[in-house]
Amino acid sequence: MSASTSPKPVSVLFVCLGNICRSTMAEGVFQSLTRPADKPAHPLIARIDSCGTGAYHIGDSPDSRTMATLKANGITAYRHSARAFETRDFADFDYILAMDDANLDNLKRLRARQVEQQGGEEGVGRVMLFGEFGGKTRRGGKGEEVRDPYYGADDGFVRAFEQSVKFSGAFLEMLKAGELS
């Protein structure tokens, strides 16, 4: 592929409820895949961030179990301070990936309002379920949810990590193949 036909780098936002477990896990994994310390950054990724639809943990670091799971899997450079989703994120990010149906529905409502306010889709990021990329398809054609591990045991964090690796890889492959344009 020549430089003139190369896809434009994209920005990706991962979204859960509180921005300390699932979305930070996904962001940490995605950063490790696209910006490894010993290699150049992935040319298709311009920006990566995460946030929550709730404002419960603004300014907090990721949950200690998220960080322990990332560290156990060799991801040690990840840092983040929780933040809430803002309307401007629709303009700042090309892909806004929700961790579950509730956050997806919330983001879709906000997006519809944004599209209506600005009079069209131009410049408004796409809202999708993260589990659409490599996840199991559920009844109704929906992709797999990343369940919130906050109130559970450590195995929930391991599962969120495994899903993040799988979904991130599938998302990157679809970007490379030009299937998301």
From CA 9, how far away is CA 175, in angstroms rounded?
10
Domain boundaries of the chain, sorted by first residue: 9-176
From CA 69, how far away is CA 55, in angstroms rounded?
24
Q: How confident is the model at residue 27 (pLDDT cuts 50, 70, 90)?
A: very high
109 labelled catalytic: no
Q: Which of 22, 51, 63, 89 is catalytic?
A: 22
100 labelled catalytic: no
Question: Considering Cα of 135, then 84, then 34, then 156, what sign does the dihedral take?
Answer: negative
Strands 10-16 and 45-52: parallel
Q: Which of 63, 89, 94, 148 is catalytic?
A: 148
Q: Per-residue pLDDT tens for 83-122?
A: 999 999 999 999 999 999 999 999 999 999 999 999 999 9
Token pair recorded at residue 154:
């450590």
Q: Just give the CATH number of 9-176.
A: 3.40.50.2300
* One-letter amino acid of 14: F
Token pair recorded at residue 112:
């519809």
21 labelled catalytic: no
Residue 171 zone, left/alpha/beta (φ > 0; ψ -120 to 50; rest): alpha
Q: Which of 16, 65, 89, 111 is catalytic?
A: 16
From CA 142, how far away is CA 52, in angstroms rounded?
21
Instruction: Answer with the residue of higher pLDDT: 181 or 168.
Output: 168
Token pair recorded at residue 29:
């994994």
